[in-house]
Structure 1
Amino acid sequence: MKKIHLCIPIYMPLPLLLLLFLSGCSRRKAVAPPAPVPQFSFIIDALYPTSPVANQGHTSNCWAYSMASFIETENVLRSLPDDTLQFQLLPPEYMVRQKLQAQFDLSLCSGKVKLTSGALGHTALDVFRYQGAIPIEVFTENHATCPDYIKVSRRLRLLAHTSSWLPAMKNRIRRSGQHLLDEEFGILPDTFLYQGRQYTSQTFAASLPALSQEYIELTSFCHYLYYNPCHLALRDNWEDAIFYNLPLDSLLTVMRNALLSGYTLVWDGDVSEPTFSSRGGVAWLPPGTPLDEAARLDAFFRGETTDDHMMHLVGLAHDVSGARFSSPRTLSVL
């Protein structure tokens, strides 16, 4: 039986969060003025090795960068003791390209345009499992410049709309979309040589330990039944993927236990609260702030709490008062 890792996106404004590297992914609400940053003194409970920090720039691709980091770290943490596996950097742009291709194809087939700027953790896992992976050295051979993501999405969206009223031209329109992706991202090789071995994208992904694991996506919303699967009505959940719903306290316990038991996880939540300071490197809840699930749900529906950034959590710490903090590493675009 495969081991199930409780490691994937959790939609909640996570309290007591130690920030090592941050950026905003897609701001969907007005950002409140920052609050004064308290002074903290941290004691590390767990901290796992991970690949070097990459820079997503001013894009909405935090999901791809965080999941590339997560998969890279999984490959090392899940390798056998006698393996010499090192961090093999996976290009987030490859995941973005494959996501855009999948969204474009779905739009052509369904007649409903689903070309969104963001995505979630399962999007990257689906790419990894079904489209494979390639090392960043191979990808950059045909990818010298950063794609213009806004232009690409706009042109793919226009092509998808065109196919809805010219259905007889769908095959030609799909080829036009493929050509656009090749122009912006580079032509993907059918096979490639890496460290003396010949691979396809599928065989390269199959050679990495992360592909042999199973993962689950968790969430916490009190308008869904607890301890049951649910559909999260989020724009970035364009595949209508299933999440498992837990009470907030249980979700926090699962997260802490995972980080203390040799696992990392990916968290997706709100980074635009006034007590979230990227420059100060810390996010916190003021003392005495209640974790009221009903109030949190109301704030979510009003747009005050959003899912605007994804981060890879690689550690856990506490301060002198005993309050828990989690240690993310994502992209710095300050």
Structure 2
Amino acid sequence: MKKILASLGALCFSVISFAQQYTFETVTDLESTPVISQGITGTCWSFSTSSFLESEIMRITGKQIDISEMYNVRNTYPEKAWNYVMRQGNARFSQGGLSHDVINSIRKYGIVPQSVYTGLEEGQEKHNHIEMVSVLEGMLNVYVENPAKTLSSNWKKAVEGVLDVYLGKRIKEFTYEGKSYTPESFLEMTKIQPEDYVSVTSFTHKPFYSDFILNIPDNFSNGSYYNLPLDEFIAVIDHALENGYTLALDCDVSEPTFSQKDGVAVIPENETDTRTILKDIKQEKSISPEYRQQEFENYHTTDDHLMHIVGKVKDQEGHVYYKVKNSWGTDKIRVGESGGYINMSVPYMRLKAISVMLHKDGLSKAVRKN
């Protein structure tokens, strides 16, 4: 019996010794603002892209400015409503959106700081848009049904009224650090030029080195993406980070191996490693363009969530991961010890990244030429 116990003990020690828990070392860590929470909303697109623009402002001007995410949301809902009503309900009306919707918002309405537009009702501490969206959707469906047989333009005023009640009226003028601004002049002060930002993707169903409208549910505004081969798509991310440019990321987070609590997102080679790979380093799957396309077309890869790529790390075996800032807050009950950041492996990025947005100067000369 003692020999058996000794053998079992040796076996357990061997297994424990073989398993390597993640230890990460920083490779690149670019400036970004603190992690915050999007609350009970589907507005990750504004939180991630606003975070991205905050890093851009720091890169360009050296100033740290907390941008109002909800100002972008407030300005985008009327556009969504117009799309839904004019398509007579044959479109999607939801809380979702994409990075270019924020760019469209600031191009048209400028930027305001969080201190002057919180999007919160008096006494409210966190965002919750469930009721507001239900009210808007109910109204819009009435307008689509058009019971009066002639659609009045008053429906647009009604939408604006609901948004004013739940989020607040648009800001026309405000004071920031002792100076008076309009949203447009504040945008000018930040040095952000909306036309400088490009969206890049990689799918084989469209020609490479050309633009196309990506058919995903949240692309209500028909945003255009530049299409690259998969290796070059990843190279765009690497080149940007290596040269001081962060990126806004649209990706799938529905995989069981995407874990905010564990702070990792990985793609195991073997499905039997699905649980253990969140704690210990395991072999990951090699992701080909064909497999990426297959997983996109069979709905295994979907447009779930937007975040902000702010750097790179590597584990003790030398595997590289992208440091991704999330918008689920820092509450340890929800995000564990990750602090609101996720280390996303290269295979995960190759398979699950729908697209990235970055400043055009963050592209290599070869890509810019193409």
Compute the TM-score of the two structures, normalised by the length of structure 2.
0.74
Partner of 2:104: 126
CA contact (8 A) 1:115 1:153 kept: no
Match of 2:134 in 1: 154
Matches within 5 A, 1:154-233: 154-164=134-144, 165=146, 166=148, 168-211=150-193, 214-233=196-215
Amino acid at match of 2:327: L
Counterparts in 2 of 1:101 and 1:147: CA distance versus 1, 3 Å: farther
2:315 aligned residue (312, 315, 319) = 319
Larger Rg computed on CA atoms = 2
Structure 1 CA distance, aligned partners of 2:130 and 2:115?
Answer: 25
1:331 equivalent among 327, 344, 363: 327
* 2:119 counterpart of 1:137: no
**1:230/1:243 contact within 8 Å kept:** yes
Partner of 2:71: 94
More helix by percentage? 2
Q: Which residue identity is paired with 1:58?
A: I
1:304 is matched with which residue: 295, 300, 311? Answer: 300
Give the equivalent residue in structure 1 for 2:83: 106
1:71 matched to 2:49: no
* CA 1:147–1:278: 2 relative to 1, 3 Å: closer
Query: CA, structure 1 residues 134+167, in 2 after alignment: closer, same or farther (shift >3 Å)?
Result: farther
Other-structure match for 1:4: none
- Percent of matched pairs sharing the same residue: 29
**Alpha carbons 1:148, 1:184 under 8 Å: kept:** no
What's the offset of the Cα at 1:66? Answer: 0.5
Q: What is the CA distance between 1:266 and its match in structure 2?
A: 1.2
Q: Is the 8 A contact 1:147 1:184 kept in 2?
A: no
Residues 26 and 312, structure 2, Cα contact 8 Å, conserved in 1 = yes
Alignment map for 1:194-273 (pairs within 5 Å): 194-211=176-193, 214-273=196-255
Relative to 1, partners in 2 of residues 1:233 and 1:274: Cα closer, same or farther, differing over 3 Å?
A: same
C-alpha distance in 1, partners of 2:310/2:255? Answer: 22
**Superposition deviation, residue 199 in structure 1:** 1.4
- Partner SS for 1:71: helix
Number of paired residues? 293
Quote the Cα distance in structure 2 between the aligned partners of 1:136 and 1:163.
33
| Partner Cα distance (2:253, 2:25) in 1 | 23
Asked if the contact 2:39–2:127 (Cα under 8 Å) also holds between the matched residues in 1, the reply is: no
Name the TM-score, length of structure 1 as normaliser: 0.81
Alignment of 1:254-293 (within 5 A): 254-286=236-268, 287=283, 289-293=285-289
Tell me which amino acid in the other structure corresponds to 1:289.
K
- For residue 305 of structure 2, what is the amino acid of its counterpart? H
Go from structure 1 to structure 2 and tell me whether the alpha carbon gap of 1:238 and 1:270 turns closer, same or farther (over 3 Å shift): same
Instruction: Return the offset for 1:244.
Output: 0.8
- Output the aligned Cα RMSD: 2.2
TM-aligned CA distance change 1:296 to 1:137, over 3 Å: same
Q: Indicate if the aligned counterparts of 1:128 and 1:211 stay in contact, CA closer than 8 A.
A: no
1:46 is paired with a residue whose SS is: strand
Partner in structure 2 of residue 32 of structure 1: none
Answer yes or no: is the 8 Å Cα contact 2:247–2:310 preserved in 1: yes
Give the Cα–Cα distance (whole angstroms) in 2 for the partners of residues 53 and 229 of structure 1: 33
Q: Which has the higher contact order (CA 8 A, sep 6+)?
A: 1
Structure 2 alignment gaps of length 5 or more:
1-18, 269-282, 335-370
Deviation at 1:111, TM superposition (A): 3.5
The separation in 1 between residues aligned to 2:244 and 2:73, in whole angstroms, is: 29
Deviations 1:245-265 (A, max 9, x none): 111111111111111111000
How far residue 220 of structure 1 moved from its aligned partner, in angstroms, is: 0.9
Distance 2:324 2:245 in 1: 13
The answer (yes or no) to whether the contact 1:108–1:170 under 8 Å persists in 2 is no
Q: Secondary structure at the match of 1:151?
A: helix
Inter-CA distance 272–106: structure 2 relative to 1 (3 Å threshold): closer
Deviation at 1:179, TM superposition (A): 1.0
Aligned-pair CA distance for 1:141: 8.7
SS of match in other structure, 1:326: strand
Residue identity matched to 1:156: L
Alignment of 1:25-36 (within 5 A): none
Provide the rounded CA distance (Å) in 2 between the counterparts of 1:258 and 1:270: 21
Deviations 1:66-87 (A, max 9, x none): 11111111001112xxxxx431
Residue type of the partner of 1:294?
E
